[in-house]
Structure 1
Amino acid sequence: MYRLILLLSCLGFQQAIAQVKETKAPATLKSVLLAQFKTTWNQQEWFVPVAKAIEGITAEQASWKPSDSSHSVGELAYHLLFWNKRLLNDFNGKDKGTFSGNNNETFDAFTEASWNATVEQLSQVMEGWEKAIAAADDAKLQEWYGNIANMNVHNAYHTGQILYIRKQAGNWNAEKGVK
């Protein structure tokens, strides 16, 4: 503590504060949404993001379900793919695709054989989202911020489920962030 006080005294407290302020731009809606998106997709901060949660899992492991009849990791990943893709298409003014309104269908389309394709498509969709948020103007973000923030929370929620299932199955490496 004494060294910190001495350092601040030597540099001049006001000068140190000015340097900190210079290096950090004020937050914008875009920067907040993009930071939130990244931490729920592939940038580990306070919690494990989706990309890290599904990394290294085999198709067989992705198909495993707990005995309480919850979803498998693969079904949850497919569900995230479905909703993130649908929302991205809507954001970009493209056809959202068909949807019956039955949310159970957004889990049921997963098969063990489709695991690698599901992971690849999810990665492509999420890369598309990152680019779309970064390129969007303020008016577009003002219109969409609620949907983007909810999507990010939805992704984080299901990532927690993925981690819980992987821990139950015994195929989660606690060194990746959750013990």
Structure 2
Amino acid sequence: MTDKAPSSFSRRAILRAFAASAVTAAPTYSMASGFLRGAGDVRRLSMYSGRTGEKIEMIYWIDGHYVGDAVREINHFMRDWRNGHVMQIDTRTIDIMAASHRLLRTDEPFTLISGYRSPQTNAMLRARGNGVARNSLHLQGQAADLQMRSRSVSQIAQAAASCRAGGVGRYSGSNFVHMDCGNVRSWGS
């Protein structure tokens, strides 16, 4: 009896994924998916959560396919940390985060401030008067609030906005950038 896990990826695809991780592309693409195609058909994400102390660093896309286990791990990582509720994170948002990270040309992971928000958490934050939208895209798993120590809010927002793939909010006073896969728009300072 053998313990061989089923795989939809060839050995060549896995090797190409690791080899392609050293490739860098110029930040001139107008869409997140276009930018990520310059990554050798490999997409990776690196994040840290100060709320839970967890860190993820993984390849979540290889040769035109999302890696199911990796996406499920991202969903869990981006859960509502207040109550543990998990939502499927929209892969377009994941792609925007990954493309923005590549554009920033750093090995430092994003620090996740907020990913998915349950309706209860969103209502509690709205009641506190923190400028939280009633129909926030966080409720649908379509948004993330992120920061980095080595990059300014302006730098992160410029990287996300250059993807032209969703909304980008600058929250300089709170030191984070909102990224979502909704309509292309920007706000804040």
- Shorter chain as normaliser: what TM range? under 0.3
TM-score, structure 1 normalization: 0.24
Larger radius of gyration: 1
TM-score, structure 2 normalization: 0.24
Higher RCO (C-alpha under 8 Å, 6+ residues apart): 1
